Amino acid sequence: MLKNKKKIRLRIFKSNKHIYAILIDDTKNKIITSSSTISKDIKSETNELKNCNTAKLVGKRIAIKLKALGIENIIFDRGKNLYHGQVKALADGTREEGIIF
């Protein structure tokens, strides 16, 4: 469990075909919102599955949802994934939209 429970946590999960970004409020133990490569808005923009371009799109979509909720600071939780490739592309897409972590 993360020590700083005042911020919202952005959890990244990768499967064999898809990448998921999930916003979690640890104080209430609830999922706020999510975005992934299986979301309708991502599928309408690209027909590719999991790669760096779609990961960046997922990052931008989750950042737009964060801004709509009025959240600007988050904790980036990559889990056991290394910070390169798709995870880095997702983080860069989120940062490009103005989210700080």
Chain segment 10-50, per-residue pLDDT in tens: 999 999 999 999 999 999 999 999 999 999 888 888 888 88
pLDDT for the residue numbered 1: 45
Chain segment 78-93, per-residue pLDDT in tens: 999 999 999 999 999 9
Taking the mean position of all CA atoms in its chain, how far away is CA 6? 18
Report the topology of domain 8-96. Nucleotidyltransferase; domain 5 (3.30.420)
Domain ranges of the chain: 8-96
pTM, full prediction: 0.87
* Percent of the chain predicted with pLDDT > 70: 94
Q: How many degrees, rounded to 5, is the angle at CA 29 between CA 83 and CA 62?
A: 45
